[in-house]
Amino acid sequence: MDPHAALAFGPGDSRRRSTGSDWAAPPVPWWAQGRPVGLQRTRKGAPLAIRKRYRFLNWTIRHDNAPDAPPTRHMFRCLGEEEDGRSCGAEGPVAADFQEAQRWPFEHLREHQDHRSFAHVAEVPWLMIPEKEPS
Ligand SMILES: [Zn+2]
């Protein structure tokens, strides 16, 4: 595995419990008997009145490394400028394979010799984990 791909996968592992190194979010209200209030509407589309008990749960966010997690995907965007000063912004294809994604800057450079700065854009699956599953 190349070093950049290693960066995309964090210390989290779905088979072990969360540790203190995971970032813990402040408590978020959990609507015990249904979806968040903002999503509940009457038939005419008005927000439903709140009459539900709720309690606060602590949530943790971490990389989703489970076998069925969405794949990490990579893409490169050109940060070079056109001759008139506008930013190029051209984007390469999105690829699950980092080395495949790295091919595009070489292709782009072939036609734009002065576009030498790129951003690596990565889509990495993350999971929100409640301290305790709501009942
Ligand atoms: Zn460019």
Q: Give residue 28 CA to ligand 1 midpoint distance, Å.
A: 42
First to last CA, the chain: 40
Q: Give residue 18 CA to ligand 1 midpoint distance, Å.
A: 41
135 in a structural domain: no
User: pTM value?
Assistant: 0.56
pLDDT in tens, 98-120: 999 999 999 999 999 999 999 99
68 in a structural domain: yes
pLDDT in tens, 28-50: 554 433 444 445 556 666 655 65
Domain that holds residue 31: 3-130
Burial pattern 46-81, b for ≥16 Cβ within 10 A else e, equals eeeeeeeeeeebebbebbbbeeeeeebbbbbbbebe
106 in a structural domain: yes
Residue 67 to residues 64, 70, 72, 80, 127, Cα–Cα distance (Å): 9, 9, 12, 37, 13
Total number of domains constituting the chain: 1
Q: Give residue 106 CA to ligand 1 midpoint distance, Å.
A: 11
